[in-house]
Structures are given as C-alpha cells and as structure tokens.
C-alpha cells in the first residue's frame, strides 16, 4: 500500500481527494438519499457559485468581512505585541495581570457580543471590538511566552552585552527576534479566529453586508445552493488567508529548521 501511494505525486493527492468528495456528493444528491433542501445537487450548486462569483455584491461582502477581520487583528497586534514583550521581559510585572488575562481568556468572545453592542452600537466598531478582544489575549499570551527569559535567550543577551551592545541593540537583535516565532504562530491562529468571529457577528449583529450576513439571508430565504456557494467562497477566503499567513510566517522565521 505504502509503495503504491509513493507512486502518486504529492501535488496530485489533494486534487484526488476533492474529486472523490465531488463524486460522492454527486452520487448522494442524484440518488435522492438526502433531501436537496439540505444538500443541493452539484448542477444547482455550480450555477449558484457562478452567479455568486459574478455578482458585485459578493466582492462588497468579501471586502466588508476582510476589513472587519483585519481591522480587529491589526488593532490587537498593535496593542498586544508591545505589551506582551514588556510582560515577557518583566515576569514580576506579568504576575499582576496573569490571573485576569487567564480569566478573560476563558470567556468565549461570542458570549460578549451583546456587551460590545452595548458599548459600541450596531456598527462596524462592535464587530471589530469582538475580534480585537478575541485576538488580543491570544497574541498577548503568545508574545509573553516568546519574550520570557530562558537560559538560551540569556546567553544571547549576555553575548551582546559583553560586546558592548546598548539596550536597544539587545532588544532588536535578541529579545524581539527570539519572540518572533511565537508572535507569528499567534498571528496565524488569530487570522482564522478573526474570520470566525466576524462571520458570527455579521450573522447576529445586524450587519448591512459581509459574508456572514449573506449566508444568514440565504438561509432565511431557503436559498440553499446560494448559501452553500457563499460558504465555499468563505472557505476559499479563509484558506487563502491561512496560506498567506503561513507563507509570511515561514519568511520571517527563515532560520528555523523545517521538515521537508
């Protein structure tokens, strides 16, 4: 089995899986085993995808969803990374906030939707605030771990100090770079989380546009193929965002040994 699998090029394998899923979908829907209301036929799904992709509204929705997700993510990065570096280097200071941070991390962001609406109203601000809240704590904790002193990190800092490095040089050449792998791993987790949170807020916090809103509208109108089409567009958006953040992570942590 292993030997036969080895004959199949790696690049072909995911395409083969997609083909198998599509064939299975086709068999299940054409045989009538599942109600087309739950799972549309491939032909109607194809038509819905084409009309979704050719509609200008789809791109407005993609823009709105991306803007909210990236806005919240950027704000959380600006807030959490410097703070995490500070707390990481000063564990005594972090001891003051560790318990509250752990407590707030345990509260699912979705349970605070209404609280954010109360503070920021029904506009984009509440949606961005939800993303900011959810991502900030993850980024903060990751950055703290990345900047936390260790024997190895201290050796690097000592080396720089023995050569006469000033505090800024120690920070930029050792502390910050040591934290980068943890920060970029946090960002990658947050990219997916931001998208999830924005979609859910768009569904339930009366958004005028956005992919979450569009899915909900199609659901209310029983336009099931269109709903699937938007979900697939959303999947593609998430997939591209994930691949992009992975690429960026690999570029900025170029020194880390990787498995081929």
41 vs 177, beta carbon nearer another protein: 177
Minimal distance, residue 96 CB to another protein, in Å: 17
Q: Which stretch binds another protein (CB under 8 A): 73-81, 110-118, 227-235, 252-260?
A: 252-260
Element (DSSP H or E) covering residue 33: none
Minimal distance, residue 92 CB to another protein, in Å: 12
* Residue 254 in contact with another protein, rule: CB under 8 A: yes
125 vs 170, beta carbon nearer another protein: 170
Q: How many residues bind another protein (CB under 8 A)?
A: 20
32 vs 164, beta carbon nearer another protein: 164
43 vs 169, beta carbon nearer another protein: 169
d(CA 256, CA 185): 13
Minimal distance, residue 83 CB to another protein, in Å: 23
> Residue 112 to residues 105, 116, 165, 191: CA-CA distances in angstroms?
12, 6, 46, 20
CB atoms within 10 A of CB 125: 16
d(CA 97, CA 47): 53
Q: What is the DSSP letter of 109?
A: G
51 vs 158, beta carbon nearer another protein: 158
Site string for another protein, 93-132 (x = CB under 8 A): ----------------------------------------
Contact of 52 with 233, CB cutoff 8 Å: yes
41 vs 161, beta carbon nearer another protein: 161
Contact set for another protein, span 168-197 (CB under 8 A): 169, 173-174, 177
Contact set for another protein, span 126-165 (CB under 8 A): 151-152, 155-156, 158-165
The contacts of residue 47 (CB under 8 Å, 6+ apart) are 225
Minimal distance, residue 143 CB to another protein, in Å: 17
86 vs 160, beta carbon nearer another protein: 160
* Residue 227 in contact with another protein, rule: CB under 8 A: no
Q: Is the dihedral of CA 193, 194, 196, 201 positive or negative?
A: positive
Minimal distance, residue 178 CB to another protein, in Å: 9
Q: Can you give the binding site for another protein, defined by CB under 8 A?
A: 151-152, 155-156, 158-165, 169, 173-174, 177, 254-257
């Amino acid at each position: 089995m292993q030997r036969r699998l080895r004959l199949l090029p790696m690049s072909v394998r995911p395409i083969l899986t997609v083909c198998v899923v599509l064939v299975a979908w086709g068999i299940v829907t054409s045989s009538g085993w599942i109600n087309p209301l739950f799972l549309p036929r491939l032909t109607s799904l194809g038509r819905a995808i084409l009309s979704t992709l050719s509609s200008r509204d789809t791109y407005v929705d993609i823009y709105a969803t991306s803007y909210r997700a990236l806005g919240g993510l950027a704000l959380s990065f600006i807030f959490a990374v410097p703070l995490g570096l500070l707390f990481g280097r000063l564990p005594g200071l972090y001891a003051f906030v560790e318990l509250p941070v752990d407590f707030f991390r345990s509260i699912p962001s979705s349970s605070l939707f209404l609280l954010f609406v109360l503070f920021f109203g029904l506009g984009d601000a509440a949606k961005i605030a939800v993303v900011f809240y959810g991502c900030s704590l993850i980024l903060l904790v990751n950055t703290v771990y990345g900047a936390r002193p260790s024997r190895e990190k201290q050796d690097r800092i000592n080396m720089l100090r023995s050569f006469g490095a000033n505090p800024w040089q120690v920070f930029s050449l050792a502390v910050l770079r040591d934290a980068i792998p943890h920060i970029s791993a946090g960002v990658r987790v947050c990219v997916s989380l931001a998208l999830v949170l924005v979609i859910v807020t768009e569904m339930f916090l009366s958004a005028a546009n956005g992919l979450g809103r569009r899915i909900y509208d199609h659901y209310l109108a029983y336009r099931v193929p269109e709903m699937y089409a938007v979900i697939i567009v959303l999947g593609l958006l998430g997939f591209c965002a994930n691949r992009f953040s992975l690429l960026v992570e690999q570029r900025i942590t170029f020194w880390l040994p990787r498995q081929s």
